[in-house]
Amino acid sequence: MNAVDVVLPCLDEAAALPGVLATLPVGYRAIVVDNGSTDGSPEVAAAHGATVVHEQTKGYGAAVHTGLSHARTDVVCFLDADGSLDPAELVPLVAAVDNGAHLAVGRRVPVSRGVWPWHARAGNLLLATILRRRGLLVSDIAPARAVRRADLLALGVRDRAFGYPLELLVRAADAGWTVVERDVVYRPRAAGTRSKVSGSVRGTLRAVRDMAGVLR
């Protein structure tokens, strides 16, 4: 089996990292990109066997791009570091890429209603509807994804904030990529911590604003 690098953008996820890193599938190697944590996340990640890199520019897209630049495997995965997604769910995404998809993305299936607040669902639905009108038949904005490293670098995604996942999908559609979705179980964050995006209406609106900006 070929090795797979897994990029985990990280901002204050010390409570979640041990569980996430311990459940990575065999052959999947963690690259934790610390984006300015103050809770000891880099040290926790290193103690649990992850490669740790630092990105000083704040923003989800900045952390993702830095992780991608440090990845070395043919296929690279991206996963939230908060424990809401099971790393084992990456295996079918990688299989889809191995079988010819350009990009495989997760479609969240929440374990309970409270896991995915109404405002986050509404924002996601709005953006997914816009994507479907552009011809890309997805229903979620990729909380987990697998892609060939060279393909993603060539795609040239520029957003360095929360707009990164949407710009990736827009560019993939424009490039004629084959994009497949696979269900992924969506769980509460580790240790009961609140999401920086979906945990509040303000966070969701900020993310939707960043994402909508790539459509202008």
- The range of the structural domain enclosing residue 40 comes to 4-213
- Any idea what the CATH number is for the domain that residue 79 is in? 3.90.550.10
Strand partners, 78: 7, 145
pLDDT in tens, 73-115: 999 999 999 999 999 999 999 999 999 999 999 999 999 877 8
Mean pLDDT lowest among 37-41, 124-128, 196-200? 196-200
The rounded distance, in Å, linking the Cα atoms of 52 and 216 is: 35
Provide DSSP, 105-124: EEEEEESSGGGS-HHHHHHH
Q: In Å, what is the CA distance from 186 to each residue of 27, 114, 207, 210?
A: 23, 11, 19, 23
State the pTM of this model: 0.90
pLDDT in tens, 50-78: 999 999 999 999 999 999 999 999 999 99
SS3 assignment, position 97: helix
The rounded distance, in Å, linking the Cα atoms of 143 and 119 is: 16
Domain tally for the chain?
1
Residue 199 has pLDDT above 50, yes or no: no
Q: Average pLDDT in the 3-23 region?
A: 97
